[in-house]
C-alpha cells in the first residue's frame, strides 16, 4: 500500500476523545488517511483493539500512545510509536500513568465542588469514573449537563483549571525508557506547547530537546494542526540539529476539540522533510 496521507496523533473514548476505537477507524477511512496511529493519554487499549478491527483494504496502523510528563523544566507530552503492546515495560508505565490520572480526576471533582459550591450527584460521579481514562473534559461535560456551565471551555477555564493541588506526574525519562524497552520510538509531541497557553521557543525549547535527547528521545512532532509554517520549520530545523525524526499528527479529539482528523499541516508524505520519511522507513516493519 502506498502511504501518502498520514495522521499519527488522535484520541478515542479510551482517553478524552469522543469516537470509540471502531468509530475512529471509520473516520480515518472517510478522511482518506493511509496510515494512522491512536495515541490515547496514558492508555494503549485502543492499540490492542484496532488490529482486530482492520479488514483488507483498510488504512495501515501503527501502535501509539501519549504520556503526560513533568520534571523541573516543565510539562511534556511524550508520544510512543511502534511498541509491542504486550511488553511489560509499556504496560507498567501505562498503569502508573492511568492511576495518576484517576487520582487527579478524583481530586478535581472534590475541589471543584468544595471551592465553587457545585453538587455532583453520586450516580453522576460513578458514571464519570466508568470511563476508561476520565479527565478534565469528562468533568467539564458533567458540569455542562448539570447546567453549571454553558460550555466545556467555560467549565475548564473558569473552574476546573482554577483549583490548585500538587498532582503526581510521570517523568519524561521513565516514559522514554519504557517506550524504548518495549521496542518503540519516543517522540516529543507539539514541542513548542507546554502547560496551558505556555509557548516554548528559542533556547528554552533547545534546552528541553537537548535534555530529552539525553534520555533517548528519537523524534519531534513537527507537522501539527496548531503550528503555523514558521513554527513547523523551526521544529524541523531543531530535529535536524539533533539528528531526530519528525512526525505528523492532528491531535484529533472528536467533538471535544475543533481540530479535524487529518489536519496535520502536511498534505502528502512525498512533500515532507526527509526526517519524516526516515521515520516511516524505520517503523515500516511495525506497520499493520
Mean pLDDT by 10 residues, the chain (288 residues): 92 94 96 97 94 95 96 93 97 94 94 96 94 90 96 94 90 98 98 83 95 97 94 97 98 91 96 97 96
Residue 272 belongs to a domain: yes
Report the pLDDT value the prediction gives residue 105, as an integer from 0 to 100: 94
CATH number at residue 249: 3.20.20.140
Position 261 in a domain: yes
The residues, ordered by sequence, that sit 6+ positions from 181 with a Cβ below 8 Å of its Cβ are 87, 89, 90
With respect to residue 70, please indicate whether it lies within any of the assigned structural domains: yes
Establish if 76 belongs to a structural domain. Answer: yes
Instruction: Determine the longest span between alpha carbons in the chain, in angstroms.
Output: 56
> Total domain count for the chain?
1
| Entry pTM | 0.92
Q: Which pLDDT score is estimated for 198?
A: 81
**101 lies in a domain?**
no
Rounded Cα distance between 276 and 130, Å, is 38
d(CA 194, CA 26): 31
Q: Which residue has the cell 492508555?
A: 43
CB 248 within 8 A of CB 266: yes
Measured from the Cβ of residue 143, the count of other Cβ atoms closer than 10 Å reads 24
Q: What pLDDT, on a 0 to 100 scale, did the predictor assign at position 2?
A: 82
Residue 123 domain-assigned?
no
Q: Quote the pLDDT of residue 187.
A: 98
- Predicted local confidence at residue 195, as pLDDT: 72
- Show the domain range for 46: 6-94+168-286
In degrees and rounded to multiples of 5, residue 56 shows phi and psi of -60, 130
Predicted local distance difference test score (pLDDT) of residue 101: 87
Does residue 124 form part of some domain? no
How high is the pLDDT of residue 1? 60
Q: Is residue 224 part of a domain?
A: yes
Amino acid at each position: 500500500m502506498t502511504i501518502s496521507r498520514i495522521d499519527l496523533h488522535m484520541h478515542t473514548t479510551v482517553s478524552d476523545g469522543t469516537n470509540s476505537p471502531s468509530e475512529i477507524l471509520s473516520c480515518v477511512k472517510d478522511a482518506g488517511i493511509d496510515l494512522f496511529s491512536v495515541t490515547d493519554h496514558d492508555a494503549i487499549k485502543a492499540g490492542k483493539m484496532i488490529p482486530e478491527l482492520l479488514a483488507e483494504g483498510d488504512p495501515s496502523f501503527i501502535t501509539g500512545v501519549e504520556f503526560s510528563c513533568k520534571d523541573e523544566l516543565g510539562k511534556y507530552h511524550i508520544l510512543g510509536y511502534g511498541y509491542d503492546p504486550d511488553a511489560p515495560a509499556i504496560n507498567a508505565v501505562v498503569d502508573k500513568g492511568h492511576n495518576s490520572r484517576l487520582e487527579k480526576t478524583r481530586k478535581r471533582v472534590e475541589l471543584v465542588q468544595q471551592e465553587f459550591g457545585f453538587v455532583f450527584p453520586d450516580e453522576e460521579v460513578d458514571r464519570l469514573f466508568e470511563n476508561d481514562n476520565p479527565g478534565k473534559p469528562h468533568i467539564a461535560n458533567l458540569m455542562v449537563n448539570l447546567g453549571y456551565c454553558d460550555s466545556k471551555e467555560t467549565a475548564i477555564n473558569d473552574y476546573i483549571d482554577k483549583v490548585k493541588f500538587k498532582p503526581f506526574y510521570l517523568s519524561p525519562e521513565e516514559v522514554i525508557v519504557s517506550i524504548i524497552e518495549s521496542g518503540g520510538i519516543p517522540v516529543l509531541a507539539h514541542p513548542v506547547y507546554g502547560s496551558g497557553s505556555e509557548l516554548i521557543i528559542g533556547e528554552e525549547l533547545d534546552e528541553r530537546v537537548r535534555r530529552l535527547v539525553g534520555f533517548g528521545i528519537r523524534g519531534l512532532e513537527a507537522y501539527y494542526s496548531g503550528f503555523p509554517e514558521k513554527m513547523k520549520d523551526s521544529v524541523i530545523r531543531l530535529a535536524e540539529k539533533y539528528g531526530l525524526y519528525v512526525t505528523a499528527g492532528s491531535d484529533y479529539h472528536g467533538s471535544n476539540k475543533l481540530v479535524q482528523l487529518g489536519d496535520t499541516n502536511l498534505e502528502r508524505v512525498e512533500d515532507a522533510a526527509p526526517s519524516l520519511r526516515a521515520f516511516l522507513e524505520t517503523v515500516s516493519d511495525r506497520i499493520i
